[in-house]
Structure 1
Amino acid sequence: MKLCFASVDRGVCPMRIGMRTFVAAALSALLALTGCSSAQEPASEQQLDPANPVQIEVWTYYAGHQQQAFEDLVAEFNATKGKEAGVSVTHASQGGVNDLAAAVTASAEELVGSAPMPDIFLTYSDTAFVIDGMGKVADLDPYFTAEEKGAFIDSFLAEGDFAGDGGLKVLPISKATETIQINMTDWETFARETGSSLEEFETIEGITALAQRYYEWTDAQTPEADDGKPFFGRDSIANYLLTGSKQLGHEIFAVKDGVCTPDIDKNTMRALWDNYYVPFVNGYFSAEGRYRSDAIKTGDLICYIGSSSSVVYFPAEVTVDDQTSYPIEFGALEAPRFAGGVSCAPQQGAGFAVAKSDERTELACVEFLKWLTEKEQNTSFSIEAGYIPVTKEACTYENIEAVASETGNTHDNYLVNLEATLETVSDGVYANAPFEGGVEARVVLEKSMADKAAADRDQVVAAIESGESRRDAVARFDTDENFEAWLESFTADLTAAIGA
């Protein structure tokens, strides 16, 4: 595990260590779970005519800086490649992710008051799968040669192959994963005084042990008992359950032909429970604030696992109170795994789907998307959005760093986190296949264990405040019976969401 870090005062990364050549090679060697070896030629482009340009509309959920970056690219395309080919693009942001999904779904269903479907829309696979089920998503595979498809990182492209037959319903544009994000300033004090090591972050069990040690270390610094501080948090519990289970050999969302049959293994779920619920009710982990970076800012956490695209929100200082604050260094490590488990981190980031239409309109859409995923455009946009590019040629440390350095306005944390991101991707990323009920099922994963851990922690805190020891208070919850009752409830809720 290789650390990158940067001082907020210097704004540089003094340790860009790691096997960058290996990372680039590993990314290039990623194999898709489904084949992308079709040898067909792309559909003809003869229907496009510069004298009679095709007008296409794109919907996204981009806002702020991302929206401006995307609209700059649209303007560049219209003035160059689009003008030459006979394609003119307009863009409309529909608000947030959920707003866009709702708007596109309403359009596909032709609900009263909904706008006509856009020609291209930004989407996650679950939403695209639903709309594809209505017969309204174009298969882009005929428009790409085998060589063109081979330019993409295989697992990124495979996410858009819903049926596993080589189809392409969602084209990747920019991607992310999860990384460990650390307040290095306070970590170094703790590590020095306890002999803790960054190598312990390599495994999920190691993080649990670190968190307990940190709680006990902070507890010992005050005369009061059982007032230690939490060490670690997670932005997404659904990601933890999905990837952690897969690391241990079981795919919770096991999908075949669009149908999910949950693979819920008791021993695997116990390992997940023991490394989230148990440390949480003990006070070693926490989930304060909307995102865990909020607790970093107040000094209530040392580290967390979050999206690699979220590093721009990692605070530059800790604010203890109105009178006390201090600067901190940001550090990043690749995502951990269970001891003995396979490497597996979440594959994140939406892609573009094209509404099924006539061939001329689909050709125009593909013309824009191919241009958008070319090395130069895709690298610059991905950096601006906080993501990584989607082709093997573009998604290398050297290329991304060079482009970021040229622009001069890349957030410092992006480059600090970049090597950890690329190493995580090269070790193995995962996105479950979409299925009916997938959105509802993910909500169960996100809330079931997390909500129970938070509610039971509240009871433990109340017991401590009334004079009971933490050990005794936790003992009532850290039982086989409590785990089995939760697992039964979780299984029932998940089965109901899936409709199995």
Structure 2
Amino acid sequence: MKRKKISAFALTILCFSLFLTSCDKKIKLDPKNPTTVHLATYYSSRQLDELEKLTTEFNEGYGFEKGIIVTVKSTASIQKINKYLIDSANEVAGSDEFPDIFITYKSILPYLKGKKEVINYSDYFSKEELAQYVDNFIKIGTIKQDDKSKIIMLPLGLSTDVTFVNKTDFENLPKNLGITYEAFNNFEDLIEASKKYYNYTDSLTEKKHDGKALYGSDSLAEHIFAGMQSMGKSIFVQDKDTYKVNLSKEDARILWNTFYVPIINGYFSKYAKFTSEDMKTGNLLSATASTAGSMYFPEKITYPNGDTKKIQISILKTPGMKNYKKVSLQQGGGIFISKSTPIKEYAASEFVKWLTNKENNTRFALNTSYAPVRKDNTEKDFIENAAKENNIKEISKNSIIMSLQQIKNEDLYIPPIFDNYENIRSLIKDIFDKEIQLKRIELLKRADSGEDYDTLISEYTSNSSFDKWYDDIKTRIDKSLKNFK
């Protein structure tokens, strides 16, 4: 009896192993009775258009032959897709069934814990198939669970931030200013260059203190996180089942000098919702933004009086912290497959394989300005040729190439996984962006009312102002973290 029990157990394990390693042999799809899988995404505009086109091609071609139908639903934003998934997982009245495939950020996972699980791609992809993806992208999608590494997210297209420079006007700056492209290597040099540019543009008009900012960024929160990582630290530290803020006064002073001080002085700024809009109006000469937004950067400037001027854009790496290891800012979510039935999981994995093959992934990436994700379609020469064949704009092509250089050669900032991360990210963005911009506006109003400008700058950047600012932001971040795991 004991031998029979052991044999039965061994047979069960053997069958399960065969199932995991030979899904295509074990599971039989039926083209006459196709399996439908539902995909939910936050994509909008060009990303959504391209995904829908590819999905239609799949349904009419490979999917039709295999017996798989894929539907696509978009919520058009990260916040909405996360709410959609949480409502579905909790079976909130009126919510849809939980999707078989979803595209979002890893930060959603804590909210689904205990409700919905995702597959380990290693169960459906061979080692050879997974080895086709860029190593850093696999790293982003890997988590530790029960002391084992699991690949729970695969990339369709990711982006890093790059710096867009108005080459036409930048190279026409007076040579005696001493501002060169090398200034964009790190924030410390960029601050000095921005100060020179502000003073120069201020001197062009009779009005005092109306100089222009040289630089702006759409990603100040990510700069904070990447800056801390480059110094070998994290702004968040795990303490058992909770996270706590990890921001010493010394580190906060570095961040203050790097971001607060130049914004208060008007050297860095952002006037519109996106820096691409500021460059269209000539309010900024350079900006750090996601490669996915490259198509929105201008080919001409339109001035307030209606005059226009054609410009060229140079693409550079994002600035880093001087004397520290460079960390790049990675943006973009990934593809998850929900745990459900073997046939649904298999059908979903077949679609993901098809969607991320060399041809389809290249097409998606080039048409959305995301970086392709495979080792066989990320070389510069391949991108150059593919962009030419597909009539891709120069700015999108160059931003993808620069993005891939950063991805392959630099460390990436990978967001931690804990509840409320997105809300805390928004809080930090407000602290280092909107709130400092408002202080700058307040300072200028006081100066216009007759107060001495230099005295005001000294007041807003004093040690006592820093101490008050530090205590305030530490308390607010700590409070946001306190009740979340």
- CA separation of 1:399/1:258 partners in 2, compared to 1, >3 Å: closer, same or farther? farther
**Residue number in structure 2 paired with 1:69:** 50
> Identity percentage over the alignment?
27
Q: Is the 8 A contact 2:89 2:116 kept in 1?
A: no
Unaligned ranges ≥5, structure 2: 1-18
**Residue number in structure 2 paired with 1:268:** 251
- CA separation of 1:159/1:211 partners in 2, compared to 1, >3 Å: closer, same or farther? same
Q: Is the 8 A contact 2:29 2:343 kept in 1?
A: no
Secondary structure in 2 matching 1:347: strand
**2:172 aligned with 1:189:** yes
- CA separation of 1:144/1:191 partners in 2, compared to 1, >3 Å: closer, same or farther? farther
**Residue number in structure 1 paired with 2:87:** 106
**Residue number in structure 2 paired with 1:422:** 404
Q: Is the 8 A contact 2:215 2:267 kept in 1?
A: yes
1:303-382 equivalent positions in 2, closer than 5 A: 303-382=286-365
**Residue number in structure 2 paired with 1:12:** none
More off after superposition, 98-107 vs 261-270:
261-270
Q: Is the 8 A contact 2:42 2:78 kept in 1?
A: yes
Aligned mates of 1:265, 1:450 — CA distance in 2: 20
Q: Is the 8 A contact 1:163 1:257 kept in 2?
A: no
Aligned mates of 2:176, 2:105 — CA distance in 1: 45
Largest Rg, 1 or 2: 2
**Residue number in structure 2 paired with 1:456:** 439
Shift of 1:168: 2.1
Secondary structure in 1 matching 2:377: coil
Secondary structure in 1 matching 2:172: helix
**2:124 aligned with 1:138:** no
Shift of 1:110: 0.4
- CA separation of 1:95/1:452 partners in 2, compared to 1, >3 Å: closer, same or farther? closer
Aligned mates of 2:21, 2:180 — CA distance in 1: 53
Q: Is the 8 A contact 1:214 1:229 kept in 2?
A: yes
Aligned mates of 1:193, 1:396 — CA distance in 2: 39
Q: Is the 8 A contact 2:42 2:104 kept in 1?
A: no
Secondary structure in 1 matching 2:36: strand
Unaligned ranges ≥5, structure 1: 1-39
**Residue number in structure 2 paired with 1:250:** 233
Amino acid aligned to 1:103: Y
**Residue number in structure 2 paired with 1:19:** none
**Residue number in structure 2 paired with 1:32:** none
Instruction: Give the alignment partner of residue 28 of structure 2, picking from 48, 56, 66.
Output: 48
Shift of 1:312: 0.7
Aligned mates of 2:114, 2:175 — CA distance in 1: 56
Q: Is the 8 A contact 2:221 2:432 kept in 1?
A: no
Shift of 1:453: 1.0
More off after superposition, 385-394 vs 357-366:
385-394
- CA separation of 1:99/1:72 partners in 2, compared to 1, >3 Å: closer, same or farther? same
Divergent runs of 4+, >4 A: 255-259
Amino acid aligned to 1:172: P
Instruction: Give the alignment partner of residue 469 of structure 1, picking from 446, 452, 457.
Output: 452
Shift of 1:452: 3.0
- CA separation of 1:401/1:297 partners in 2, compared to 1, >3 Å: closer, same or farther? same
Amino acid aligned to 1:430: Y
Amino acid aligned to 1:309: A
Q: Is the 8 A contact 2:369 2:399 kept in 1?
A: no
Shift of 1:292: 1.1
**2:471 aligned with 1:488:** yes
1:386-397 equivalent positions in 2, closer than 5 A: 386-397=369-380
Aligned mates of 1:455, 1:224 — CA distance in 2: 21
TM-score (norm 1): 0.87
**Residue number in structure 2 paired with 1:116:** 97
Q: Is the 8 A contact 2:51 2:364 kept in 1?
A: yes
Shift of 1:361: 0.6
Aligned mates of 2:174, 2:143 — CA distance in 1: 46
Aligned mates of 2:21, 2:138 — CA distance in 1: 17
Q: Is the 8 A contact 2:158 2:333 kept in 1?
A: yes
Aligned pairs, how many? Answer: 460
Shift of 1:193: 4.5
Secondary structure in 1 matching 2:118: coil
TM-score (norm 2): 0.90
Q: Is the 8 A contact 2:242 2:482 kept in 1?
A: no
- CA separation of 1:256/1:486 partners in 2, compared to 1, >3 Å: closer, same or farther? same
Aligned mates of 2:293, 2:452 — CA distance in 1: 37
Aligned mates of 2:239, 2:314 — CA distance in 1: 40
Amino acid aligned to 1:197: T
1:158-197 equivalent positions in 2, closer than 5 A: 158-163=139-144, 165-190=148-173, 192-197=175-180
**Residue number in structure 2 paired with 1:440:** 423
